[in-house]
Amino acid sequence: MKLFRHGNPGQEKPGVVDSSGQLRDLSGVIADINGAAINDETLKKIAALDLASLPLVPEGTRFGPCVSNVGKFICIGLNYADHAAESGVAVPSEPVVFMKATSAITGPNDNVIKPRNSTKLDWEVELGFVIGKHASYVELDEAMDYIAGYCVINDVSERNFQLERPGGQWDKGKGCDSFGPLGPYLVTRDEVKNPLDLYLWLKVNGKTFQNGSTDQMVFSPQFLVHYLSQFMSLQPGDVISTGTPPGVGLGQKPPVYLNAGDVIELGIEGMGTQKQVVVNA
């Protein structure tokens, strides 16, 4: 299934895509798409519905973030061998883990806000996944059972804040408001036969910069659930972003960065697309 959230910011309602691609409202069935609603039991209940009998979502309605009330927004850095190469660093022997502020989360087509004093605003198309049940010390062969579904994420980054400001903390360049567009859809794991065989792409002002495949991932979603659960419990609704393929602005020669008025378009095979306009803070 493809689940989504629709409506104005802070007033989003749950929705589902029916077999003909129509957007249907789920608010008469569940309250929201959140940690409480993406367990296996509730997902089976939704799948059993006659989706064609549900109300249609009005055309042109805004897509909100595909999951609400996210507790943790965990990101993995340098998780594509070819992206590590363009960044001039070795492929990590263990996952590079950092957090994005949950206040960075926005809808897939909302504006990206260029922060004050930003000089190196960058893009990163990424495959994200959402945890469906409490995970702690998960065995590798059981890890896929903890993934509720997958989504498109733009891991927007400010490279000056991330890499050049004193203190050495990636989080400063990763957690600004609007730096975490999620969605449009949460695609349940049964629809994603192989998360390591997905095409993903990103364009800026119509020019393709990222054009890759998840088969270049160093650490798979399955391994990441296992690995992260050794250090912290993962809760239903937590979001994990799995890294980006090559083609980011930082890797261009010379580097290319975003400015107000630029248009970012991105997507992942079978998971929908995003489109953002950059605006000044």
pLDDT tens profile 161-209: 999 888 777 889 999 999 999 999 999 999 999 999 999 999 999 999 9
In three-state secondary structure terms, 87 is coil
24 vs 164, which has greater pLDDT?
A: 24
Q: How far apart are CA 184 and CA 80, in angstroms?
A: 23
Q: What is the dihedral of CA 122, 161, 179, 216, to 10 degrees?
A: 50
| Token digits of residue 47 | 């799948």
In the chain, the percentage of residues whose pLDDT exceeds 70 is 100
Question: pLDDT band at residue 12, thresholds of 50, 70 and 90?
Answer: very high
Q: How far apart are CA 38 and CA 127, in angstroms?
A: 18
pLDDT tens profile 76-86: 998 998 777 77
Task: Write down the domain spans for the chain.
Answer: 65-280
For residue 171, what pLDDT is reported? 85
Q: Is the pLDDT of residue 87 over 80?
A: no
91 vs 234, which has greater pLDDT?
A: 234
| Token digits of residue 241 | 């972003």
CATH number for the segment(s) 65-280 = 3.90.850.10
Q: How far apart are CA 158 and CA 176, in angstroms?
A: 9
Task: State the DSSP H helix or E strand holding residue 85, giving kind and residue range, or none if neither.
Answer: helix 81-86
DSSP letters spanning 150-186: EEEEE--EEHIIIIISTT--GGGGT-STT-EEB-S-E
Q: What stretches of 9-161 adopt beta strand conformation (E)?
A: 13-17, 23-25, 73-77, 96-99, 105-106, 112-114, 121-122, 125-131, 147-154, 157-158
| Token digits of residue 258 | 């975003």
Q: Is the pLDDT of residue 228 over 90?
A: yes
For residue 84, what pLDDT is reported? 78
Q: How far apart are CA 133 and CA 135, in angstroms?
A: 6
| Mean pLDDT, all residues of the chain | 96
